[in-house]
């Protein structure tokens, strides 16, 4: 009996020694906070490994496709544009498939139905891809504004699966991916087909992209900004929205309105100084090859004309020699005939 009473009261006496029960927050809050911080740290480490994986896959993909396009005699600038566009298109197709069929997205923001683990994995993949893509744009292509926009969008989707505004981020991600897919298809079309029909197809796709951009960034995103009351989310959304508008196609259209190559200026990044210097070196090399060919062709032509003139002169000389020989024989025969006539007359 005494042993049973001791066992029943022992946890209560022990609980009196737990100071966390007397603190002004819920029980086990520190343990939950430590678990949550450890989970976030593990997710950040996992994102770092995924960025390394994206980098290795991109290097392998770039090398293989560059060899293929080089064997097909595509220029260097055109190869670089096709490589970037195909890479983004591949990810966009996978992202749309995941968001549309797995997440079951509908226009209503509250209709997101997805398991927590699958949603977390999908957002981590998107976050790591946009961080890697921002690094490529900033350090490899020199496009700071585009890289900053992708970096802000990657920060926007950090841990969004743990908040009630996750459906907003998922819907923005879905429409942004469609917009990116349209512009990358335009870039591939313009890089592969430079004919009139190819440019007409590219302009049609570009018009669809512009209309989709107007819907996403003038209707959908502002509505999400107005309906959301989360201050950190609004800050990230406004920063990303402003950078996206500064990097929009309409700003490029206004800047290249009178240009004859306005479509190319709107779709592609401006060439880097290294690319311009490489293009100048290649141009000088082609010009030097043309000059060498022309200089090698000129002596051959001169030699040919000299040989022809020499042959004509030799032919004329031989003709004169023959004519002189014929005249000499004719005079000799005439003299012989006169001598014979004189002898016979005597």
Listed by start position, the domains of the chain span 38-268
**What residue has token string 């880097």?**
272
Is residue 218 pLDDT above 60, yes or no?
Answer: yes
- Reported as a single tens digit per residue, the pLDDT across 51-79 is 899 999 999 999 999 999 889 888 888 88
Q: Percent helix, strand and coil across the chain, each rounded to 5? A: 85, 0, 15
- The answer to whether residues 112 and 167 touch, using CB atoms and an 8 Å cutoff, is yes
Is residue 127 scored above 90 in pLDDT? Answer: no
Q: pLDDT-based confidence at 22, cuts 50/70/90?
A: very low
Sorting pLDDT into bands at 50, 70 and 90, what band is 29?
Answer: very low
CA angle 68–69–75, rounded 5-degree value? 150
**pLDDT 10s digits, 251-283:** 888 877 777 777 887 888 776 666 667 777 777
Among the listed residues 41, 31, 238, the one whose alpha carbon sits nearest the alpha carbon of residue 159: 41
Which range, of 30-39, 89-98, 170-179, 307-316, averages the lowest pLDDT? Answer: 30-39
Q: Is 329 helix (H, G, I), strand (E, B) or coil?
A: helix
Q: Where are the beta strands (DSSP E) in the chain?
A: none
Work out the widest C-alpha separation in the chain, in whole angstroms: 190
What are 182's two structure tokens?
């349209």
Distances in Å between the alpha carbon of 72 and those of 31, 82, 117?
61, 13, 44
CA distance 136 to 134: 5
Q: What is the DSSP string of 176-195?
A: HHHHHHHHHHHHHHHHH--S
Query: Helices 116-135 and 166-192: crossing angle, nearest 10°?
Result: 40
Share of the chain above pLDDT 90, in %: 8
Report the pLDDT value the prediction gives residue 53, as an integer from 0 to 100.
Answer: 92
CA atoms of 171 and 41, how far apart (whole Å): 26
| Helices 144-156, 116-135: inter-axial angle, 10-degree rounding | 160
Instruction: Point out the least confidently predicted range of 21-30, 176-185, 225-234.
Output: 21-30
On whether the CB atoms of residues 96 and 174 are closer than 8 A, the answer is yes
What integer pLDDT is reported at residue 266 of this predicted model?
80
Task: List Cα–Cα distances, 238 to 131, 150, 174, 230, 339, in angstroms.
Answer: 19, 14, 18, 12, 127
Task: State the Cα angle at 124 between 141 and 239, rounded to 5°.
Answer: 60
The crossing angle, in degrees rounded to 10, of helices 166-192 and 196-215 is 170
The yes-or-no verdict on residue 172 having pLDDT over 60 is yes
Q: Which two tokens stand for residue 324?
A: 């002189």
pLDDT of residue 18: 41
Cβ within 8 Å of residue 189, ≥6 positions away: 198, 201, 202, 205
Q: How confident is the model at residue 4 (pLDDT cuts 50, 70, 90)?
A: very low
Return d(Cα 54, Cα 48) in angstroms, integer.
10
Q: Evaluate if pTM is beyond 0.75.
A: no
């Amino acid at each position: 009996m005494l042993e049973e009473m001791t066992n029943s009261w022992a946890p209560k006496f022990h609980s009196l020694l737990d100071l966390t029960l007397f603190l002004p927050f819920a029980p086990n809050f520190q343990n939950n906070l430590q678990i949550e911080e450890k989970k976030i740290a593990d997710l950040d480490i996992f994102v770092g490994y995924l960025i390394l994986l994206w980098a290795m896959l991109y290097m392998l993909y770039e090398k293989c496709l560059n060899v293929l396009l080089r064997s097909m005699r595509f220029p260097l600038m055109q190869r670089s544009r096709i490589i970037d566009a195909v890479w983004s298109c591949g990810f966009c197709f996978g992202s749309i498939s995941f968001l549309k069929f797995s997440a079951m997205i509908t226009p209503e923001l509250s209709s997101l139905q997805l398991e927590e683990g699958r949603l977390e994995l999908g957002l981590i993949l998107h976050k790591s891809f946009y961080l890697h893509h921002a690094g490529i744009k900033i350090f490899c292509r020199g496009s700071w504004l585009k890289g900053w926009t992708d970096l802000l969008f990657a920060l926007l989707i950090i841990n969004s699966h743990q908040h009630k505004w996750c459906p907003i981020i998922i819907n923005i991600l879905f429409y942004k991916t469609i917009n990116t897919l349209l512009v990358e298809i335009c870039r591939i079309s313009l890089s592969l087909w430079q004919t009139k029909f190819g440019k007409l197809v590219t302009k049609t796709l570009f018009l669809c992209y512009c209309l989709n951009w107007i819907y996403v960034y003038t209707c959908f995103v502002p509505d999400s900004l107005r309906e959301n009351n989360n201050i950190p989310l609004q800050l990230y959304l406004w920063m990303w929205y402003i950078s996206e508008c500064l990097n929009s196609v309409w700003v490029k259209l206004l800047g290249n309105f009178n240009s004859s190559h306005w479509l190319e200026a709107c779709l592609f990044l401006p060439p880097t100084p290294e690319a311009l210097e490489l293009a100048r070196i290649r141009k000088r090399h082609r010009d030097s090859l043309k000059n060498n060919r022309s200089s090698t062709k000129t002596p051959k032509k001169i030699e040919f004309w000299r040989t022809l003139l020499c042959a004509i002169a030799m032919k004329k000389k031989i003709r004169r020699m023959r004519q002189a020989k014929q005249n000499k024989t004719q005079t000799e025969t005439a003299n012989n005939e006169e001598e014979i006539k004189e002898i016979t007359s005597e």
